[in-house]
Amino acid sequence: MLKENDKKAQQLILNQIDLVDIVIEMKRLYVIIILFCIFINPHITEAVYVPKEGVAKGALVHVLSNYLQSQNTVRLHFLQLKKTKSIQYSLTYTSLNIEQAIQGNFDPNGKRYERRELFLGVCSATECVPHTAPKDIKLKITATYQDNSTSSNTYSVH
């Protein structure tokens, strides 16, 4: 009987070790995906933080943004959303001396990551027409946290 309990205890320990290994591998995969997103496109901007004064470490929203000229889109990757209640964003740019804007929002609902792709142009039911030579692209992000406090910052997108 004692040997059976020892075997069960050893099996439980081995199962826990396996779970720890799985978690470590998932974290490694997450880092690899982020690094891939950063290095695959040379137009990626610096990391954007939406800080909140007095907030605990890890509660900052982290946003990566990059302009994909070939697709005339801006790709946004929102990270570290766990302590965030909602995100509002506004992308402004100039095309042929006309100010343009795209606005949106979302509630993370417990997700840690959200991706948005914003087309710089106009779409109808049947086709999309890109705006010509967008420039001065700026991204404004407002984060609302679980305690209903907010923070907001504006950044240039390249």
pLDDT digit string, tens, across residues 125-138? 999 999 999 999 99
Q: What is the pLDDT of residue 153?
A: 85
pLDDT at residue 53 tops 50:
no
The CATH number of domain 43-156 is 1.10.540:
no
3-state secondary structure of 113: strand
Q: Residues 43, 69: contact at Cβ < 8 Å?
A: yes
Q: Which of 45, 71, 39, 72 minimizes the C-alpha distance to 138?
A: 45
Of 24-28, 40-44, 70-74, 106-110, the range with the lowest mean pLDDT is 40-44
pLDDT (tens digit, 9 = 90+) per residue, 70-128? Answer: 999 999 999 888 888 999 999 999 999 999 999 999 999 889 889 999 999 999 999 99
Q: Which residues pair with 93 in a beta bridge?
A: 100
Report yes or no: 80 and 112 within 8 Å, Cβ to Cβ: yes
* Six-digit token string for 43: 């137009």
Give the span between the Cα atoms of 146 and 119, in whole angstroms. 30
Q: What are the start-end ranges of the H helices in the chain?
A: 2-40
pLDDT confidence of residue 17: 67
Q: How many CA atoms lie within 13 A of 118 on its CB side?
A: 24
74 or 11, which is more confident? Answer: 74
Domains of the chain, residue spans: 1-40, 43-156
Per-residue pLDDT band at 44 (split at 50, 70, 90): very low
Sign of CA dihedral 25, 27, 31, 33: positive
60 vs 106, more confident: 106
Residue whose structure tokens are 């990551």: 113
Strand partners, 128: 123
Pick from 80, 14, 16: nearest CA to 51 = 80
Residue 50 has pLDDT above 80, yes or no: no
Share of the chain above pLDDT 90, in %: 41
How far is Cα 70 from Cα 72, in angstroms, rounded to an integer? 6
Q: What is the mean pLDDT of the chain?
A: 79
Q: Is 4 helix (H, G, I), strand (E, B) or coil?
A: helix
